[in-house]
Amino acid sequence: MHDLMFTLPNGRYLLVPSHVITTMQQYRQLKSTSKEQGGILMGVMRAERDEQVSVDNPPCIEVLSVTEPCRHDYATNTRFVRRCEHHLADMKNPAKTYKDLIYLGEWHTHPEDNPLPSRMDLRSWRKAFMNKLAIVVIVGRETNWWGLWADNKVIPIDKLHEF
Ligand SMILES: [Zn+2]
Ligand SMILES: [Zn+2]
């Protein structure tokens, strides 16, 4: 597994370290009994102080850490809802190491080889990220789907490099 770099509009980048991918991929729904799982993405956005960030002008984004599901979350074969407080509590630990660490978005798994957002995903992202910028990830059995949420819609983002 390698670090990943994606291109965002305006030539900015999204950087994802390999340990983040490895952590999320442990929860791939490879068996018919596997439940949907998920968590939060945390990291940093880099933009000039007075810069207006938008879908056409996103900041550079670096994912530094993700939270993992636990038994207190709600999980079925096709649905995952973060219920446990540990997701938010976990943000405080890396925040000590990385001063500007923020909530970047969320990830969850799908029981699909090459996943795409469901109608329910779009509805929940619209609610969670109203007028915000976020990174959303769906971990599939074979490939993962990455999106940039901005201007209240999602755009798929393509992998640029693996290194
Ligand atoms: Zn928990
Ligand atoms: Zn979904």
pLDDT tens-digit readout, 33-87: 999 999 999 998 887 777 777 777 778 899 999 999 999 999 999 999 999 999 9
Ligand at minimal distance from the CA of 112 is: 2
Residue 89 has pLDDT above 90, yes or no: no
Domain span holding position 41: 4-162
**Domain of residue 125, CATH code:** 3.40.140.10
CA distances from 63 to 31, 72, 106, 158 (A): 28, 25, 11, 16
CA of 87 to the centre of ligand 2 (A): 18
Q: Work out how many domains the chain is built from and give that number.
A: 1
- Binned at pLDDT 50, 70 and 90, residue 2 comes out as confident
Helix, strand, coil shares of the chain, percent, nearest 5, are 20, 35, 45
pLDDT of residue 131: 87
Residue 157 has pLDDT above 70, yes or no: yes
CA of 38 to the centre of ligand 2 (A): 10
> Measured over all CA atoms, what is the biggest interatomic distance in the chain, rounded to whole angstroms?
49
What are 94-148's pLDDT values in tens digits?
A: 656 666 788 999 999 999 999 999 999 999 999 999 988 999 999 999 999 999 9
Percent of the chain with pLDDT over 90: 64
